[in-house]
Structure 1
């Protein structure tokens, strides 16, 4: 006979949700920082293809 599973506590589900939001915040912050460094031209560890000349640039 099937038995219902125990209910997850509110604190546990809130911790999981906060952790998920925390990871999303830091990945957004990192991508924004990378975009800013590419625009200023100060990036040292990112390789991309230049659309105008089809040359590989290392900024």
Structure 2
């Protein structure tokens, strides 16, 4: 049982790190696409950046 938890942690934690590191780039691309095409404005700040601004 404990082996499954350890294996799951080794599989999930790197995935979470990669998603967190690339989320800023993905959000920036989305922001540029929205600004180029006009339309509604949604604040797509990175979670850490939005936390630091408050």
> TM-score, length-normalised on structure 2?
0.41
**Structure with the greater alpha carbon radius of gyration:** 1
Greater percentage in strand: 1
- If asked which structure has higher relative contact order (CA below 8 Å, sep 6+), I would say 2
Greater percentage in helix: 2
